[in-house]
Amino acid sequence: MSAEVSHRAKVWMGVAAIPIILYTLLPIGWILSLSLKTGASVNDRHFIPNHWTWASYKYIFTGGAHDLFVPALINSIGICLIATFISVILSAFCAYGIARLDFPGKKLVLNAALLTAFFPSISVVTPLYNLWRSIGLYNTWPGLIIPYLSLTLPLSIWTMTAFFRQIPWEMEQAAQVDGATSWQAFRKVVFPLAAPGVFTTAIIAFFNAWNDFVFAEGLSSTPGKAGHFNGAQTVPAVLSTFQGPSQFIPPTGYIAAAAVIVTIPVVILVLIFQKRIVAGLTAGAVKG
């Protein structure tokens, strides 16, 4: 039984949502304002800058912070994309097995994945730091990709399991009756039908890796140089080390400019694919 929302209720819901939206956008607007202020006016209380300038953006891309920010941005993009790809592939096989097979400990696997998602990252950084230093993975791409899988896999498994459960078992059986093997049925029937879930899982996994600070700060030391792989520090960790051109110029504007740059891809993805993200989080919540 479905209930329709009246026009008046929709209007009041829209009016009530306006202050919430403004409150949510206020920090983003303030960061953008700081990134466009001059060094002398960065500490004033004006929300809208009196004098607009792109100096902070020029400083991080072509100025003194170029060798720090650009390699870190490349590291963030490369490491997060690789971690997302591996996470999606592994979680697809795991979720398919959980959704289709009956085996002892199935619920234990899902509960263990959920427990891993709630496990605090800071508690494993020190042991990983000592281990990574011993085996040569410290400040390397694999040294961050492997821990990032612990951030992306649990939620990926849960999300994709819900999508695989929604795919009728009869479609896969029909493909096998027509002569397809189990692998062919998965690859040509099940996986394409679960494409929206796979896409949603990839977005969520990418966000988790993109926003990480703990692993990036504890398991890397330098961002390296653009085009080289002799460093792995990502943007969130690099922002904590930003310094101004001199001790008399605070790095507030430069940090704000870098924060705006790394936020833009996330905002664009959320605005474009917000329906798929919500669908992925709520898949399997309602039967029928």
Q: Find the range with the poorest average confidence among 11-15, 38-42, 143-147.
A: 38-42
The whole-angstrom separation of Cα 284 and Cα 11 is: 30
The answer to whether the CB of 35 falls within 8 A of the CB of 256 is: yes
Evaluate whether residue 186 is within a structural domain: yes
Evaluate whether residue 200 is within a structural domain: yes
pLDDT score of 38: 76
Evaluate whether residue 141 is within a structural domain: yes
**143/187: higher pLDDT:** 143
Evaluate whether residue 52 is within a structural domain: no
The whole-angstrom separation of Cα 209 and Cα 221 is: 18
Domain count, the chain: 1
Task: List pLDDT tens digits, range 99-153.
Answer: 887 777 777 877 787 777 777 888 888 889 999 999 989 999 999 999 999 888 8
Q: Would you place residue 30 in the very low, low, confident or very high pLDDT band (cuts 50, 70, 90)?
A: confident
Average pLDDT over residues 81-106: 86
- Any idea what DSSP says for residue 36? T
Q: What percent of the chain has pLDDT over 70?
A: 89
Structural domain harbouring 184: 66-241
Q: Would you place residue 1 in the very low, low, confident or very high pLDDT band (cuts 50, 70, 90)?
A: very low
The whole-angstrom separation of Cα 114 and Cα 100 is: 19
Evaluate whether residue 117 is within a structural domain: yes
Tally of residues, the chain = 288
Average pLDDT over residues 81-88: 93
Evaluate whether residue 222 is within a structural domain: yes
Task: Specify the CATH number for the domain of residue 161.
Answer: 1.10.3720.10
Encoding tokens for residue 238?
């690099």
